[in-house]
Amino acid sequence: MSCCAPGVEQSVDQIASPESDDETLLLASRELDSGHRQLELAVPDVTCAACIQSIESALNKLDMVENARVNFSTKRVRVSFTPGVGRPSDIPKTIKERGYRTFLLDPELDNKGDKTLSSLVRALAVAGFAAGNIMLFSISVWSGADAITRDLFHWISAMIAVPTVAYSGQPFFRSAFRALKHGALNMDVPISLGVILALLLSLYETINSAQEAYFDAAVMLLFFLLIGRTFDHLMREKARSAVRNLARLAPRNVMRIFDDGRRELIAINEVESGMVLEIGAGERVPVDGVVISGVSDCDLSLVTGESVPQKVSKGYELLAGSANLSGVLIMKASKPAADSFLARMISLMEAAEGSKAGYKKIADRAAAIYAPAVHILSLGTFLGWGFGTGDWHIATVNAIAVLIVTCPCALALAVPIAHVVASGRLFENGIMMRDGAALERLAIINRAAFDKTGTLTQGKPEYKGQFFGDKKMLEVAASLGAVSRHPFSVALAASVNNIVAVKGAKEVPGFGVEAKNKDGIWRLGRAEFCNAKEIKSPKNGSSVWLSLNGKPVAGFMFEDSAREEAKKNIKLLKDKNIAISLLSGDKKQPVLALAKEVGIDDAHYSLTPSDKLEILQKYADDGDKVLMVGDGLNDAPALRVAHVSMAPSSAADIGRNAADFIYTHNNLDAVPFALHIARRTANVVKQNFGLAIIYNFIAVPLAVSGQVTPLIAALVMSTSSILVTLNALRLRLGGENIIGKKQKPNIYAPPLVTKVLAE
């Protein structure tokens, strides 16, 4: 994805020819692994689960398409395709054939305001004003107005209702017309049909001076439906604005320095790995990279949650989104913008909004089946009452009531609205969720497994000295340690001023660093990696060994203190009936000492990555649903295999990519808080399903049996949707006792961005 992806709408129709269309779409796409490309398009007309299913199924039938996923919140479709198998222009063409407009994303046009919300609010205001006035006339009619007065009030109501329905019903009518035009049904079809039939029946009754008319039902239905749709849009837009404002943190351009010293301002999407960039004071870091010269203070709060500026100098690895506060920094880009830390955060937020979680899949399938079922039930009611009583007028009234009362709004909103609110709540507290399915998996865990170094401990071990070997070996070990991001290696490298670059050094995940030179093979790392298991090491603290050609030549000692919040959060998890395990590659003494300090009974030490996998598999075989929390390169396999996983934003790239949740404040409070929100969300989703089922169980038989008028049907159906939305909004409350005072990002950004992220 582009790091500026939240932009919108440049019409694909403006492209001159099919050939230029293909070329433009290829340029707009990004390259993935295995020769695939990914294209993202805006689809602003998506309104329900049936729309999503229609677009996704049509695109997935194309030979060139590997996967197509529609994000309802952001109104976009993301398509992975294979160039050469088909024409890229077939993708927007297929979407249009299903009846939906599609646009290329243009980040420069993302500042024009929310037109959808404006149109919804206007339609809602008109419907509310009209409903209030029509109800005044209806009350007068119900109070016993004579025939002439009654007819007059009905005609006045008609004069208000007809233009109101024509204007305020447009969000539903346009969607329904597109679906019917292409031989499909969506959730807006029964809504539109119910409103129009109620209006037409009311006009018929008014023309024939009947006792009752249902203008109030038609307009009231629109009013309450628009309330629900506006609520839903506001919740989704709140989550979407978080993504959009994250994207705005990335600069549009950056200064590139060429080998000959020449400088040129280039677009952010032109940055490639290895380019040398200049980051001026007050600028935000555009891509991930390593500082090669300069000293400055940087605000890393977006990345680590730490509000105190960090001193940055040569060799420091900066992540995109960090803000350079004082001096000028020269850095070498390690990744393009599309793969930067900031881009991955945006991607995580978008994935959470568009995920196909278990409950959401159930709701989507139910809503897709529901639309045709509604029409069949309404038709059955019409025919049953018509042939059974011979009164086709009553049959029509009851069929309209059934059509209105069975609109599947509450069912369609049950899961997505809860996940939208939950993901927003997590994001506000520095936790990013990969998808809704991960939230569901987190809700059912019964065991949490923690890595030690950098997770339960500060991750910044202090070098305490050399206890074995020649003191001259310290410089060799420190030079090897500079290759690795492991906390012990970082501490070792920091203890020596004279670091020599080691060519050909490579990190062996879970073991250490290896390099070969004229002296032979050097290794820095675990005791077994350096053949030092037989040599006695200090009981207190952790040890790192250096070997040459398989012979230990030096040993170094480190100490890493436990995080202040570790013990408290372990207790919180235990109070939630979560069993706790410690899985560490460190040696026995420091692991058991830490376990005792923070209150963990099940501690495992001297583990390799494969050992951690075996233990996790054993837990799974015993029926445990395990949450794995880790931050190292060696934790990546365990993070991937666990039932659900979390990692801090400071974790190695491979660890962040493997985790289901990323917490940016580098604080273990995130673990029990995420569990709290996950369990509450699961309860809210079940409650929403229950509300929808109970509503239909009671309302549908009453409507079919003729006990519900169109007006009552409109009020009851709309109320069920609003109840589902309000129930989901309860997720905004509570949980402060777990995470403490709400953490507000100290982000060096425009005031509007800071305000939105801190809300």
> Contact at 8 Å (CB) between 566 and 548?
no
Adjacency order of strands within the sheet including 276-279: 263-267, 253-257, 276-279, 329-333, 289-293, 317-318
The dotted CATH code for 253-339 is 2.70.150.10
pLDDT of residue 759: 34
How confident is the model over 231-268, as pLDDT tens digits?
667 666 655 555 565 566 667 788 888 888 888 888 78
Predicted TM-score (pTM) of the model is 0.59
**Count of helix runs (H) and strand runs (E) in the chain:** 26, 28
Look at strands 317-318 and 289-293 and give their pairing. Answer: antiparallel
As a whole number of Å, the CA-based R_g of the chain is 31
Q: Write down the mean pLDDT value for the chain.
A: 77
Secondary structure (3-state) at 324: strand
Are the C-beta atoms of 281 and 255 separated by less than 8 Å? no
Three-class secondary structure of residue 38 per DSSP: strand
Domain 10-109 has what CATH class? Answer: alpha beta
Closest to 497 measured CA to CA, from 482, 512, 517: 482
Residue 448's pLDDT band, with cuts at 50, 70 and 90, is very high
Average pLDDT over every residue of 432-439:
76
* pLDDT tens sequence across 394-431: 888 888 888 777 766 666 667 777 877 887 788 878 88
Residue 580: C-alpha distances to residues 350, 409, 668 (Å): 31, 41, 14
Closest C-alpha among 757, 745, 665 to residue 242: 757
Task: With CA atoms as reference, report the closest residue to 570 among 548, 604, 595.
Answer: 595
- Measured between alpha carbons, how far is 703 from 173 in angstroms, rounded to an integer? 24
Q: Where are the domains of the chain?
A: 10-109, 253-339, 430-453+564-675, 462-559
Q: How far apart are alpha carbons 196 and 506 in whole angstroms?
A: 70
User: DSSP character for 14?
Assistant: G
Residue in this structure with the two tokens 């273990």, named with its chain if needed? 668
Catalytic residue, chosen from 288, 299, 451, 631, is 451
Mean pLDDT within 681-700: 84
Structure tokens at 325: 């506060």
* Two domains, one topology: 430-453+564-675 and 462-559: no
Phi-psi region of 651 (alpha: psi -120 to 50; beta: other; left: phi over 0): beta
Superfamily of domain 462-559: Calcium-transporting ATPase, cytoplasmic domain N (3.40.1110.10)
> What is the DSSP track for 689-751?
HHHHHHHHHHHHHHHHTT---HHHHHHHHHHHHHHHHHHHHGGGS--HHHH-SPP-----S-H
Q: Quote the percentage of the chain above a pLDDT of 90.
A: 7
Query: Does an H or E element contain 187, and which?
Result: none
SS (H, E, C) 131-149: HHHHHHHHHHHHCCCCHHH
Q: What is the pLDDT of residues 372-395, one digit of tens each?
A: 777 788 888 888 888 888 888 788
451 is catalytic: yes
> Which CATH superfamily is 430-453+564-675 part of?
HAD superfamily/HAD-like (3.40.50.1000)
